[in-house]
Structure 1
Amino acid sequence: MTETACQDGRDHYEVTGGGPVLLVLPGGAGHPMGLGPLVERLATRFTVVTYDPLGLAHGRLGLPVAEQRVAVWSEGAHRVLEAVLPKGEPAYVFGTSSGGIAVLDLLARHPGRLAHVVAHEPPCVTVLPDGVERRAELIGRLDGPGRPPAEGESATPMGVFLARILHPFTRYAPAAVPAGVPLTLAAGADSHGHVLYRTAEFLAERLGGAFTELPGGHLGTLEHPVEFADRLAESLLSGARSPS
């Protein structure tokens, strides 16, 4: 198992493991902090490509960041796939939280070489019938007083997320899913009864995708990395589209 860090001036990502390509988009501001155990487990079955949309883990934390757009993240993810995918091979894709929103947009824009997409608790709550109220509650809960800095020496990924990502990403409404690409919406087993569990269930029905539970809550990737990775791998490989 080898590990490499790659960048081409715009796109920052790391590659580890062996097997079919699995693109991972972290949540929050896209910084893959804490995902090491999950990636290590997944890398026993996949070539894991961890995309860092803002390059925060690659020396850019603290630099100015503009308000983010979902399409910019998904187009960056597409460029990364174009760079790493062997000819004729489809990719598996997993995104959690804000990364889950980005993979839904990737699926809508570039479905051609995607074998199976799993979006875990994407916070695009405006799709709900009471989405305006739920979004206001979500933002109010997360973006209260005491926000950490988004720029400068004291900048944190959470500060970047709250200042530049939370508001635009939670306004996103996924487009219809192209026919023929398996999509699974996932929620944490411990999130039952919470708004993001309800959002994932609603999106699965609206977009015609499957729904599954994964271990833990919204941060299940960090709370139960081994169990989460094993259950995610089962979900990705089940019903995946074959190479064309």
Structure 2
Amino acid sequence: MTTPTLPTTGELRVDGATLHYEVRGRGPLLLLIPGGTGGAAAFDAVADELATTHTVATYDPRGMSRSTLDDPEAEQRVAEHADDAFRLLELLSPDAPARVFGASSGGIVALHLLTARPERVERVVVHEPPVVEVLPDAAVHRALLARVQATFRSEGLLPAMAEFAAGLAKDGGTAAPRAEVELPPQAAARAERTMADLPFFVRRIVPGFMSYAPDLERLAALSDRLVFACGQDSRGELPYRPAALLAERFGCELRHFPGGHTGLTTHPVEFGALLHQAVRD
């Protein structure tokens, strides 16, 4: 097992925000874009292994954790988050294109980054990006987002999260119970920060990101740089479906990683090994 190392940390001023970022290792740049409320810490369990062959950069997306917004009430847009990622590439790898991994909402950012700045990206791996607008039943999921927001306003965070979780489950039903998984210590330790960021995620990220419609024609032209990945336990669930559909549409391989949508958290060692392989292939 790779010995943990302390990353070099920094701050990057971007339009409307200040980003906290962390860097480890040497080699070609690999930018890891977290999903949900994970932030840079979501990759703590895999970053050192990836840093044996790459310069690994992680960061807290704007509005999350240590990345502060000038205006805390600002609407969040995928294009703006993708520009943040581009600014990090310009800072950390100005002379060479980078490799990028995005999980969940971070996968949406990675897809937009590829279509907007293809000259800066040589390979993109996305794990279950919930681009539900590509699905034939997209209208059903627009209604889900409206219900989540209405529930958040009228009843608060936890009922809204329950509504959201039910909508992500197979066939939009009640989420099936999963086998109990003991979280690694690093994941358990960041639970407090994750909970603190949940209101911002539900109110700002979920509606802005899950209504995003990718440029499919542009993605098709760049699909030789794309790797789609899904959780082995996610089959039939909403976040799985867009990646599976796009992989089939573009003729790309669909890779399966351990666990479900949060396999990076529940199975970090196995997930990290497959990610390492995916970005190096």
TM-score when normalising by structure 2 = 0.74
Cα distance, 1:139 vs structure 2: 6.5
Cα distance, 1:102 vs structure 2: 0.3
| Aligned equivalents of 2:146, 2:45: Cα separation in 1 | 29
Cα distance, 1:146 vs structure 2: 3.0
1:43 aligns with 2:86: no
| Aligned equivalents of 2:73, 2:250: Cα separation in 1 | 32
| Aligned equivalents of 2:148, 2:236: Cα separation in 1 | 16
From 133, 142, 145, the counterpart of 1:126: 133
1:16 aligns with 2:24: yes
User: Unmatched 5+ residue regions in structure 2?
Assistant: 159-194
Cα distance, 1:12 vs structure 2: 2.6
CA RMSD of the aligned region, Å? Answer: 2.5
User: Any idea what the Cα deviations from partners look like across 1:3-50, whole Å, max 9, x if unmatched?
Assistant: 211113233311112222110110014623443112233223321101
1:162 aligns with 2:170: no
SS, match of residue 78 in structure 1: helix
- Higher Cα Rg: structure 1 or 2? 2
Deviates more, 1:228-237 or 1:209-218: 209-218
Given that 1:12 and 1:55 are in contact with CA atoms closer than 8 Å, whether structure 2 keeps it comes out as no
SS, match of residue 67 in structure 1: coil
| Aligned equivalents of 1:41, 1:171: Cα separation in 2 | 34
| Aligned equivalents of 1:104, 1:59: Cα separation in 2 | 22
What is the number of equivalent residue pairs in this alignment?
Answer: 231
| Aligned equivalents of 2:63, 2:91: Cα separation in 1 | 17
- What amino acid is aligned across from residue 101 of structure 1 in structure 2? I
Give the structure with the higher percent helix. 2
Given that 1:31 and 1:55 are in contact with CA atoms closer than 8 Å, whether structure 2 keeps it comes out as no
Given that 1:41 and 1:226 are in contact with CA atoms closer than 8 Å, whether structure 2 keeps it comes out as no
1:4 aligns with 2:8: yes
SS, match of residue 19 in structure 1: coil
User: Any idea what the Cα deviations from partners look like across 1:79-121, whole Å, max 9, x if unmatched?
Assistant: 100100152x321100011100000000000011312101111
Distance 1:141 1:227, change over 3 A: farther
Map 1:1-244; keep pairs closer than 5 Å: 3-10=7-14, 11-29=19-37, 31-54=39-62, 56-58=64-66, 60=68, 64-85=72-93, 87=95, 89-137=96-144, 140=147, 145-147=155-157, 156-175=196-215, 176-177=218-219, 178-179=221-222, 181-238=224-281
| Aligned equivalents of 1:212, 1:136: Cα separation in 2 | 30
Given that 1:26 and 1:97 are in contact with CA atoms closer than 8 Å, whether structure 2 keeps it comes out as yes
Cα distance, 1:53 vs structure 2: 2.2
| Aligned equivalents of 2:260, 2:148: Cα separation in 1 | 17
- What amino acid is aligned across from residue 196 of structure 2 in structure 1? T
Given that 2:43 and 2:58 are in contact with CA atoms closer than 8 Å, whether structure 1 keeps it comes out as no
Given that 1:188 and 1:213 are in contact with CA atoms closer than 8 Å, whether structure 2 keeps it comes out as yes
Cα distance, 1:74 vs structure 2: 0.5
TM-score when normalising by structure 1 = 0.84
Distance 1:73 1:130, change over 3 A: same
- What amino acid is aligned across from residue 59 of structure 2 in structure 1? Y
User: Unmatched 5+ residue regions in structure 1?
Assistant: 149-154, 239-244
Given that 2:257 and 2:263 are in contact with CA atoms closer than 8 Å, whether structure 1 keeps it comes out as yes
Given that 1:111 and 1:181 are in contact with CA atoms closer than 8 Å, whether structure 2 keeps it comes out as no
- Hey, what does 1:241 align to over in structure 2? none
Deviates more, 1:14-23 or 1:72-81: 14-23
Given that 2:12 and 2:21 are in contact with CA atoms closer than 8 Å, whether structure 1 keeps it comes out as no
SS, match of residue 212 in structure 1: strand
SS, match of residue 233 in structure 2: helix
